[in-house]
Structure 1
Amino acid sequence: MKGYGQFCPIAKACEALGERWTLLLIRELLCGSRRYNDFKRGLPLISPTMLSQRLNVLQDRGLVELKRSEDNKSREYHLTQAGLELEPIVMGLGEWGARWIRSQMSDDDLSVELLMWDMRRTINCSALPITRTVLHFEFKDLDKTYKHWWMLAENNEIDLCVDDPGFDADLHFVSDLRTMTEIWLGDTSVSQAEAVGKLAMKGSSQLIRHLPEWFMFSGFANVVRGVA
């Protein structure tokens, strides 16, 4: 990206972070993504070439580094100290967006891949049964490629699947993409969506009863909308 030709620290920071996808990659790293496939799930529209390029640039700028995984079988991307110090800036940007911009969400902004990946990484597994718990999400407005999603929680870990894992679902959600996104973002509640027939839950009454304990919403769900 061409520089601004200014010594101002704000200008230099914008040069380092202002390219397309860069801040969203920082978001993914702050949310725990470490490997290439994790980034692709959080950023489904980024091309493989662009992803590799942006990761290389972030390394060159000293914001990201490659480290060996705990099992020493692969390499993972981690934020450096400089990258970690971006957390309040990125989260503050998200809070501002939730307060002032989220009402402008169009159908083109809806992404079932990002929604399910976000929900998967915030599910509170410790509040679920120790034995395997299978959550099945059905989006009635999507085609068969993206219509069904499963989460398998076991031993305090959770996997996200787009293919039927072959286990009976303990809880089955039926909704549309916009409604589930609005629930996740805190723009409507589970009870409100159920009341107007936009959400149905079938299965374990215990899981439904304890839903607020294990189904965590977006970190920006409680941000109050601003009034212009």
Structure 2
Amino acid sequence: MYWEYSLTAAGEDLRAIVMALGHWGAQWIGSRLRDDQLDAGLLMWGVRRFVHLEAFPSCPVVIQFSFRDARSGEGRWWLVVEEGVADLCRDDPGRELTLLVEGTVCALTEVWAWDRTPKEVIHTHELSVDGRAADTQSLWLWLCTSAFAETRRKRFAPQAR
């Protein structure tokens, strides 16, 4: 069974306000979270929600995320993209892996929020991506960043002089 959720009319009327508050926070407050504030589940549901479905190949893609700093029971996640649908699993779906992403919740959160680039967290070994070279390069095209990452990028980008 597949469930699809949508906002009520009242919720839709609040969308612009909530998004404006989010962009304000991204610009003025930042996203530096302490380790005890990180939530692998919240991060992974955000990743699943915003994947670029159109960028995935026509064949099934299975990405396992393994976090060494996640709370108990939240260390492994599987993102399965098939036939234009993204599904997030907490239990191994028993499918052949396309990619294995290992690292910290903090590192992926920082990439998700645009605080750091994938290249930076891979270079420091806070995150690794294993799989075929073409797939490892495509990962960052497939995954998106938070809805507020562009605001952070503009706010914290080095200013041209």
| Fold in common (TM above 0.5) | yes
- Structure 1 or 2, whichever has the larger Rg, is 1
**TM-score w.r.t. length of structure 2:** 0.85
- Among candidates 110, 116, 138, match of residue 66 of structure 2: 138
Change (3 A) 1:131 1:104: closer
When residues 202 and 168 of structure 1 are mapped into structure 2, their CA distance, relative to the original with a 3 A threshold, is: same
Change (3 A) 1:104 1:208: closer
Aligned CA RMSD, in angstroms, stands at 1.9
Q: Give 1:103 deviation, angstroms.
A: 4.4
Superposed CA offset, 1:172-199 (max 9, x none): 1011111111111000100000111111
Name the counterpart of 1:115: 43
Question: Percent same amino acid among aligned pairs?
Answer: 34
Using the alignment, how far apart are the partners of 2:69 and 2:39 within structure 1?
A: 13
CA deviation digits over 1:102-144, x for unaligned, max 9? 2452233211110000000111122111121100000012355
User: How many Å separate the matches in 1 of 2:84 and 2:31?
Assistant: 35
| Gaps in structure 1 of 5+ consecutive residues | 1-32, 35-76
Provide, for residues 64-109 of structure 1, a one-character-per-residue CA deviation record: whole Å limited to 9, x for no partner: xxxxxxxxxxxxx6321x4323222111100111112224522332
Structure 2 gap segments, 5+ residues each: 157-161
> Hey, what does 1:161 align to over in structure 2?
89
Note the 1:80-95 alignment, pairs <5 A.
80=9, 82-95=10-23
Secondary structure in 1 matching 2:7: strand
SS in 2 for 1:135: strand
Q: Match of 2:36, SS?
A: helix
Q: How does 1:3-22 map to 2 (within 5 A)?
A: none
- Following superposition, the deviation at residue 204 of structure 1 comes to 2.4
Q: Which has the higher contact order (CA 8 A, sep 6+)?
A: 2
Please give the alpha-carbon distance, in whole angstroms, between the structure 1 residues aligned to 2:81 and 2:32. Answer: 34
Q: CA offset at residue 153 of structure 1?
A: 0.6
User: Which position in structure 1 is the counterpart of 2:53?
Assistant: 125
